Amino acid sequence: MSYKITSNIKKAFQNIRKDIRRTYSIEEMEAIGEAASEMVRVRTRLGYGVKKPNTKRERLKKLSEEYIETRKDFGALSEFTTPARSNLTRTGQLLESIAVLEVTEGNVEIGPQGARDDNMTNEKLAEHVSVARPFISLSNLEVKKLVRFIEKNIIKKVFRR
């Protein structure tokens, strides 16, 4: 005699997903998005990018000699960079603009926003630089950090009931 448990397991996982969506308020999802935004900023300032979501981080493409010379003459470089450092922080405006764009039940979207001093939008600049230096996705390690954070909070909430 056998007993199929697959439908029960599927129902259990569906209930867990619903509980997770209900567990996190809009404010808590926004905090998760802010944490993810900070992870992207810090990693990129260190000179790393992520080509595809949930993959290993990689060094950003090196700057050309011509662009290094342009940055030397620029004068108003961000405090987080040097003329030869490839970390998307010429002025710092792009990385500082990364924030929570939208929060819905169980989901949060982050990305660059707002205008710049050079009459371009941060969103358009991010699209342009991401061709050669993709940076906005979370790496596999960053995803793991966020998952651990979420798991800890879920456990706290479950045991509080």
Angle, helix 140-160 to helix 6-23, in steps of 10 degrees: 90
Here the tokens at position 34 are 């802010």
Taken as a whole, the chain contains a residue count of 161
pLDDT beneath 70, residues of the chain:
1-10, 12-13, 15-17, 19-23, 157-161
Q: Helix, strand or coil for residue 112? A: coil
The pLDDT assigned to 68 comes to 94
As a whole number of angstroms, the distance between CA 89 and CA 103 comes to: 27
pTM over 0.75: yes
The pLDDT assigned to 2 comes to 37
Output DSSP code: residue 104: E
The pLDDT assigned to 3 comes to 46
Convert the chain into a string of H (helix), E (strand) and C (coil).
CCCCCHHHHHHHHHHHHHHHHHHCCHHHHHHHHHHHHHHHHHHHHCCEECCCCCCCCEECCCCCHHHHHHHHHHCCCCCCCCCCCCCCCCCCHHHHCCEEEEEECCEEEEECCCECCCCCEHHHHHHHHHCCCCCCCCCHHHHHHHHHHHHHHHHHHHHHC
pLDDT in tens, 16-45: 667 666 667 788 888 889 999 999 999 999
